[in-house]
Chain A
Amino acid sequence: MKTRQAIAISTCAAIVGLSAASAWASSHREAPAIAEDPCADNTDVYTFISPENPDNLVVVANYIPLLVPSSGPNFFKFCNNVAYDIRFDNNGDARTDIIYRFLFKSKVQNGDTFLYNVGPVASLDDPDLNVRQVLDVVRLDRRGRLEDVIAADLPVAPWHVGDRSFPDNSYENVALTAVKETADGIKIFAGPRDEPFFVDLHVFDLLGVGGAPTTDGFNVMSIVFEVPIDDLLDEDAERPISTEAKGAILGVHATASRKRKRILRRNRVARERGRYVQVSRLAVPLVNEVLVPLKDKDKFNRSQPQYDLNNIGSYVLFPELPGLLTAVLGAGCPQTPEAGRTDIVGILSPNGTKPADLLRINIAEGQTFEDSVFPNGRWLADDVTDVLLNVLCANPNLQLGDGVNGNDRPFSLTFPYLATPHSGNPIQAMPY
């Protein structure tokens, strides 16, 4: 009743003409309200024992989803004022013990032009490369205090602007010069890569049909980090011999944080030092997208893994999805038992570690790259969507899938492992 009246009035207003609506023409500030923070948006985390060296662990933290030319002012680089962290829990209590923090600074060589590059780019310090970015990597302890500077002013690989900017297939050669190996055997790469996640994205969009490889043709901003496993243990600790030990499990997650500021500056101090507030967080794929309801996503993004049981435990124990799949598609998912899906909780707490949304990987002596198969770590080619669907809807008579089983470009078994980003983007006017 109420709605019909409302509609009648609206329709009337439209028929009367725009003049009535014009009276509402805005004369207030209309500051933007819809949330969009693309450069502080985690897209994926991967971790696996290095195929090149079984004493090393690789973590890939991807940010800034769906980089494509046609969707407006794209972010072809990491953001300057975001702290991108890869965080480790090495004793199974789901609390962060070690943080590696990646901080970016971009510089524009020539502010009079909007162009990303003014000519073909032959190297990372080619004078034609107008927009450049560098990276500092630091290690922080469990209290967030600086422990070590791992690297400073590393060049970040540039955007693959196009084939005229990187003629003769030269892009990858230029990009790979951004790979850095420190004296301590840590390898770092940061820059755009082909989006490695493969899924029918329409699932998150609540739209569309299945089987469409919707993340093909996109790029993503990637931090690829390879570190000796011994660096991730406490001092004096050794890698366990037994794979069953709690200490054999490393928990990994990635975050993005921004500095908060005082709205009004006291005494007009030039540089306000603000504390970081975490605005994004990711570990196990699809948890935030699928298990956590919309109303709690903000809260989840700001939360810490050691509180996951409290914060999202009920969503994991009593997931919404199996019921929806049954109701909507007749998938025949078994009913959630009264005590809840303790099996899912079990997957999130191997070897008796505290249940949390952490990507967990077994780092016992003797573990190799071949062992790194989701949910024991996550290799780039693992089809996590299918795995998770089948975990959530464990119908023995049904093999569920989203119909997309591989990436559009092959991965490499050498650092930095991810495929070269897609080219052919037209030279865009940069918003700087």
Chain B
Amino acid sequence: MQRRVILILSIVLCAGCSGQGAHDGAPGEAIPPPHPATPAGFALAYRAGDEGTDRLIARAQARVRIAPGQADAHVGLAQAFIQKRRETGDPAYLVYARDAMGAAQSLAPGDFRVLTGQIVLDFDSHRFARAAQLAEKAIAAEPASPDGYLLLSDARLELGDYEGAVSALQEAMDRAPDLRSHGRAGYLRWLHGDVEGALDAMDEAVSAGSRTAEPMAWCYVEIGLMLWHGGKLDPARRSAQRALSLLPNYLPALSLDARVLASLGRDEEAIARLEGVVARAPTADALLRLSELLAGAGRELAAGRYLARAEKLASDDPVPVALYYARHGIWPERALALAERAVAERATIYSRDALAMALLRAGRVDAAQKAMAEAHALATPDARLILHRALIEFASGDRSAATASLNAASIQNPHADPLLARELAALVGQPFPGPPRRAR
């Protein structure tokens, strides 16, 4: 007798079923006990809302309930939480992601998607060396996929291995020239001083597009930062606004907007933006920028509070704190200790830059020059690096080089660092061309 079966392809789930791993057994068999790898429910306990990424989370949760023995299901859930964290900036979602990832790992430790999911989490806890190792394992597991190479490129970038980052990204690009590889290519080109090529790559990234809003918003923030570094404030602001129109309250866009507003002299608005940012994702960099703005507006108490909070993060994120001390000429020993540790852990151009400044303030000009030369190895078009170099050139007695560097920095981005630009201008005896003097 023929009968019509309403069919659900692949692994089934029905809305009314309670997931008990019931489908692990054949029809008629006693339901086996819950799979030992079922997470005790932390990631499943999250109550997903109705919108956007929460729907992704809800679907992923349902999948885990139905197929708790599938590592893939847990990875999907972890990824959904990671996506939510990216959009909102709220690191609490990573707690759920780690929970789901833990279950995935116990089920299939060498699995490609488990590896790549773990790498993303490692980035967030700054375990870049481990991330690089896992990325190599991921590549070995699936050499045809771009994912392992993308993440390897990211890890190497954070460790200061720029050549390695480029070669890994080229492998990724050769496999999938999509938003992810073009977006990263843009940054690497910018780092190496090719601004036109960088914007070209970002254009490709945007035009490649994405199904969800956040990767596009991220691209617009990257573009905006490059524009800000080029001193192009209005275009930078427009990029930030575009990102926000795609994803309102997107923290990186708010942070960029704040940066541009501060450069425009609109401090109160910049402060408001940064307060929004630090309320949700208080990075050392954002806290310190906010602190400076508040101090500039005469709000010393609030400035001090944010500074204190930033200092507490120094052990995880030493570079912004070390640089802050060095720029303000305070706590030279602390700055040096932090910067030395930063370079030891991650020898990027920015940690070397912080070290150079810290050495300068500690009176070790020769060492400062060496570190600064390393910071400039890629000819990165970041006016802040140029200003720092100018200070060191002045300290080493080369006034004309310092003047030339100050001018180069002003041409590159006159808004890069008014505090230091003013200090330098006074040192070399030039009028300070920048924004009005602040109270601090």
Interfacial residues, chain A to chain B (CB-CB below 8 A): 2-4, 6-7, 10-11, 13-14, 18, 21-40, 71-73, 75, 79-81, 114, 200, 202-211, 258-265, 268, 270, 274, 277, 279, 290, 294-295, 298-299, 302, 321, 324-325, 327-331, 389, 397-403, 429, 431-432
What are 21 of the A-B contact pairs (CB < 8 Å)? A6-B98, A7-B42, A10-B102, A21-B91, A24-B125, A24-B126, A26-B91, A29-B187, A35-B176, A36-B212, A72-B211, A73-B212, A79-B209, A81-B208, A114-B245, A204-B10, A274-B177, A279-B176, A298-B144, A331-B7, A431-B246
12 more contacts with CB within 8 A, not counting A398-B3, A403-B6, are A3-B103, A13-B95, A21-B91, A33-B116, A73-B216, A75-B209, A80-B207, A203-B8, A208-B13, A209-B14, A268-B196, A328-B12
Question: Interface size bucket, B side?
Answer: 35 or more
Contacts of B176 in A (CB 8 A): 35, 37, 258, 277, 279, 298
**Inter-chain contacts of A397 with B (CB < 8 A):** 1-3
The answer to whether B218 and A31 touch across the interface, beta carbons within 8 angstroms, is: yes
Contact of A72 among B79, B154, B213 (CB under 8 A): B213
Are the CB atoms of B10 and A321 closer together than 8 Å? yes
Q: Do A277 and B178 form a contact, CB below 8 Å, given A28-B126, A329-B8, A431-B206?
A: no
Residues of B within 8 A of A38 (CB): 209-211
A residues in contact with B106, CB < 8 Å: 2-3
Nearest-neighbor residue (CB-CB) of B76 within chain A: A206
Q: B194 contacts the other chain (Cβ, under 8 Å)?
A: yes
Q: Which of A32, A80, A295, A330 has the most CB of B within 10 A?
A: A32
Residues of A within 8 A of B187 (CB): 29, 31
CB contact list, B170-224 vs A, under 8 A: 170, 173-180, 182-185, 187-189, 192, 194, 196-197, 201, 204, 206-216, 218
B151 at the interface (CB under 8 A from A): yes
Check B212–A263 contact: CB distance below 8 A.
no
Taking the closest CB of chain B, its distance from the CB of A308, in whole angstroms, is 15
Question: Are A400 and B59 interface neighbours, CB within 8 A?
Answer: no
Q: Looking across the interface, which residue of chain B has its beta carbon closest to that of A268?
A: B194
B316 touches A268 (CB 8 A): no
Stretch at the interface among B276-284, B289-297, B398-406, B427-435: B276-284
Which residues of chain A are near B210, meaning CB under 8 Å? 32, 36-38, 72-73
B252: which A residues are within 8 A, CB to CB? 30
**10 cross-chain pairs, A with B, having the tightest CB-CB distances, nearest first:** A203-B9, A210-B6, A6-B102, A32-B215, A258-B177, A299-B144, A72-B213, A37-B178, A36-B210, A21-B91
**Chain A minimum-CB-distance residue to B117:** A33
| Cα distance A28–B208 in the bound complex, in angstroms | 24
Beta-carbon contact of B169 and A263 below 8 Å: yes
A321 x B9 contact (CB < 8 A):
yes
* A26–B124 touching, CB < 8 Å: yes
Q: How far is the CA of A312 from the CA of B417 in the complex (A)?
A: 58
Give the distance in Å from the alpha carbon of A81 to the alpha carbon of B179 in the complex. Answer: 12
CB distance from A257 to the nearest CB of B (A): 9
Pairwise interchain contact B173-A263, C-beta atoms closer than 8 A: yes
